[in-house]
Structure formats: C-alpha cells, structure tokens
Amino acid sequence: MKAGNYREMSDEELGIKLQDLEKQLYEIRSQAVTEKLANCKAVINMRKEIARIKTVIREKQLTK
C-alpha cells in the first residue's frame, strides 16, 4: 500500500493494520530460519510497510 492510502485510514485502523503486519513479520522471520522462503524480499518489504504505517501515525500525532 502507498502512504497516501494509510493517511486516509483512521487511527484505530492503522493500529490494527500495524499489529497484523508485525504478526506477519514474525511469521515470515520464523519461516526464514526454519525453511526456505518463496520470496526472499518478503522480510524487507514487510519492514517497509510497518515503517510507512508508523510514519503516518507519527504525522497524525504531530498535526494534533
């Protein structure tokens, strides 16, 4: 998702999405240790998505 899409979401939706992505990141990391990943860049992409969401949350905090 693009950051613009995250900016349109409410704070609660962003929090839920962030928790979901962090759970997925944990699962992907555990898969990377125990078995082969189908997509080698999955961990990197997931971390970038989490960073985008955290950035949008911080922007909303600063504008309040």
Using the predicted structure, report yes or no on whether residue 38 has a pLDDT greater than 90: no
Question: For residue 18, what are the domain limits?
Answer: 3-63
**Percent with pLDDT over 70 in the chain:** 100
24-59 in b/e form (b: 16+ CB < 10 A) is ebeebeeeeeeeeeeeeebeeebeebbebbeebbee
Distance CA 23, CA 53 (A): 14
Distance CA 16, CA 14 (A): 5
Q: What is the residue-averaged pLDDT of the chain?
A: 92
Instruction: Please state the domain count of the chain.
Output: 1
Residue 7 has φ and ψ, to the nearest 5°, of -65, -25
pLDDT of residue 52: 96
Q: What is the CATH number of the domain that holds 40?
A: 1.10.287
